[in-house]
Structure 1
Amino acid sequence: MSLVNDPSPDKPRLAVIFGGRSSEHGVSCLTAREILAVIDRDRYEVLPVGITRDGAWVEETAQWDELEPGTLPSVREDRPAFAWERLRDVDVVFPVLHGPWGEDGTIQGLLEMADVRYVGAGVLASAVSMDKPFTKTVFSAAGLPQLPYVTIRPWEWKQERSKVEDRIRALGLPVFVKPARAGSSSGVMMVESWGALETAVLAAREFDPKVIVESAARGKRELECAVIQRATGKPTASLVGEITVAEESEHEFYDFEAKYLDGTSKNVVPADISVTLSERIRTYAVQAFEAVGCEGLARVDFFLTDDGLVINEINTMPGFTPYSMFPRLWEATGVSYTDLVDRLIQLALQRDTGLR
């Protein structure tokens, strides 16, 4: 039960927090710009709050001039400072933060301590979903199919490298090397020869000292499904979409540049798959949502391989521009971008803070 900060009787006070210290800072700014553009100012009193790359909280408009091609916006350091205490005067927060120090349970914990309602998953679900090895442990317990993987903890790479490399070699080539707690494919490399393994691990460790190495399946298609909660709390899944990368692209997989900078990726909605497979993916997506303990929204990613369907990961605050897969999936399912944003805010206003 919430002790303080009941929603205002007139217009609820909504803070949209974005930017942050992670490598996904620019993506967060893009998402915030689009969300702020569609929020009904007749229904909500809106307060945009930016977090700079250095962690300073500022009053930010999220209105950037025309961006150069291949660039992302950034929270401006010369904006007026924002006092954290002002969060206690807010009815609900939309934390549009991607990656560590935002999507990983940190901002959620701050808001829980302040007794402020917010959009999206709670502390535990956010933290687990941000950590790929922990997510896989939960998925395994839920009986969801996955690809083989190896976790490299910081001390293992320094003290037991040969043992770790033996475990990785058992996966066979090729493999994907990823930071354990990063998103948007930041720091991800595909390794096709063992001589390139160390370089890939060191590149991933630039983003996170903890690394995960996954088997790269053959005949892989990347499929995605979005999940939101209904007012009753029951989750429901969208249609299924597919990510494709243009054949002429220089990218071997759906990496950060392909996602956000050079326009070589394409979202196909709905995906060209059978009804049976679509229903299976939607069922798995809801199961993953519930297994992790998500709230509000999530996007669940899958691979369709030569050996069958496997789940890849879950994102508790997926990309949210009108061109991102999450809102496009809901638009194809019958929920507009504007309605989707409003539904998530209303859902957050209706739920209690604290233990739920």
Structure 2
Amino acid sequence: MSRLRVAVVGGGRNAEHEVSLASAAAVVAALDPDRYRPVPLTIGRDGCWYDPTDHRASAPIGFPAALDLLQRVDVVIPAVHGRHGEDGSLAALCELVGVPYAGSGVAAGAVGLDKHATKLLAAAAGVATAPGEVLERTTAESRIRSFDGGPVVVKPVSAGSSVGVSAAATAQEFASALTTAFAVDERVLIEPYVSAREIDVAVLRRADGQVIIPPPLEIVVDGVFDYETKYGGEARFIVPAPLENGEQAALERAALLAYDAIGCAGIARLDFFVTPDGVLLNEINTTPGFTPHSQVPRMFAAAGVGYPALVDLVITEALASHPAVSNAGRR
């Protein structure tokens, strides 16, 4: 039986480039060589497409060549986190090419990366969220002058991997936090600091409608879960998260409501605060980090699904979710 050709796209023209490279490399390494033929592709920081298996030169292969490769594979696993990838861009490319792909579609990717839009849709579906204020660069100076103390958390509206996130309690810290966030995005979200447990929930809705929610994961960290804490080894992950009676059910219910409100497909990770008054949705990740040490694979491992099996599941569901797509005209 011929091997399935699996394109894995990593990198990206955004601040999450390195994280995306790690996710893509892990997926490629986990592909069973007897069943799959990996076709790795990298989007450089400059936006050019590269073939990372071509060691003869570092020159880009060009978008037409990358498009030709995508047209000749059986399925695509987009592993580009953040803008120009997770935001629906890669899903749109796969839709235009007519190739099955893993994960959420164009609309869900775009909404999911926009933290403010996510809050609005989640709230409309009955999921509580932390209050937030959107600030644009043109009004930043006046907002700094009116800052009446914190603590608050400042984050880019459209970015993941905790890039550009920082806390502020004074006007000076607030100004610095805005500078950091505006270096990543043109819009910034300001939220009151929530002193609560941080719990992640993974949701996978299969093509047949079956929903899989592995044990939730708790993030234990001193302060804000920013980029340095997330990838510097300072955070501690506990899975299964120790939860009181009813807390896990409340988390799963809120996660599924938000997942469906955004219109997600495949695997998504939903991040929550658990407070004495209930659960609050923090954000959603439609293309979550995907190394064996990332939160989602850890949660599935706790459910008995190891990393290679999880990659198999992702591919199986991508193919099942796009049954009308034929490779006949693309080979």
Provide TM-score, normalisation by structure 2: 0.91
| Aligned match of 1:327 | 297
Instruction: List aligned pairs for 1:123-138, cutoff 5 A.
Output: 123-138=106-121
Deviates more, 1:172-181 or 1:16-25: 172-181
Matched, 1:41 2:33: yes
Structure 2 residues without counterparts, runs of 5 or longer? 326-331
Q: 1:162 aligns with which of 142, 145, 149?
A: 142
Say if 2:48 and 2:60, in contact at 8 Å, map to a contact too.
no
Distance in 2 (CA, whole Å) between partners of 1:165 and 1:104 is: 33
Secondary structure of 1:117's partner? coil
Relative to structure 1, the CA distance from residue 154 to residue 195 in structure 2 (aligned partners, 3 Å threshold; closer, same or farther) is closer
| Aligned match of 1:222 | 198
RMSD (CA atoms) = 2.3
Deviates more, 1:40-49 or 1:192-201: 192-201
Say if 1:191 and 1:197, in contact at 8 Å, map to a contact too.
yes
Deviates more, 1:118-127 or 1:35-44: 35-44
Distance in 1 (CA, whole Å) between partners of 2:171 and 2:214 is: 40
| Aligned match of 1:183 | 160
Give the CA deviation at 1:267.
Answer: 0.7
Relative to structure 1, the CA distance from residue 222 to residue 351 in structure 2 (aligned partners, 3 Å threshold; closer, same or farther) is same
Q: 1:269 aligns with which of 236, 239, 243?
A: 239
Structure 1 residues without counterparts, runs of 5 or longer? 1-8, 64-75
Give the CA deviation at 1:214.
Answer: 0.7
Distance in 2 (CA, whole Å) between partners of 1:195 and 1:12 is: 55
Q: What count of residue pairs does the alignment treat as equivalent?
A: 322
Matched, 1:281 2:251: yes
Say if 2:6 and 2:37, in contact at 8 Å, map to a contact too.
yes
Query: Percent same amino acid at aligned positions?
Result: 40
Q: 1:52 aligns with which of 18, 40, 44?
A: 44
Q: 1:148 aligns with which of 122, 127, 131?
A: 131
Relative to structure 1, the CA distance from residue 62 to residue 195 in structure 2 (aligned partners, 3 Å threshold; closer, same or farther) is farther
Distance in 2 (CA, whole Å) between partners of 1:341 and 1:273 is: 28
Instruction: List aligned pairs for 1:191-340, cutoff 5 A.
Output: 191-218=168-195, 220-245=196-221, 252-260=223-231, 262-340=232-310
Secondary structure of 2:214's partner? strand
Provide TM-score, normalisation by structure 1: 0.85
Relative to structure 1, the CA distance from residue 269 to residue 86 in structure 2 (aligned partners, 3 Å threshold; closer, same or farther) is same
Deviates more, 1:148-157 or 1:197-206: 148-157
| Aligned match of 1:68 | none
Give the CA deviation at 1:164.
Answer: 8.5
Paired residue type of 2:275: T
Distance in 1 (CA, whole Å) between partners of 2:145 and 2:281 is: 25
Paired residue type of 1:244: V
Distance in 1 (CA, whole Å) between partners of 2:150 and 2:35 is: 54
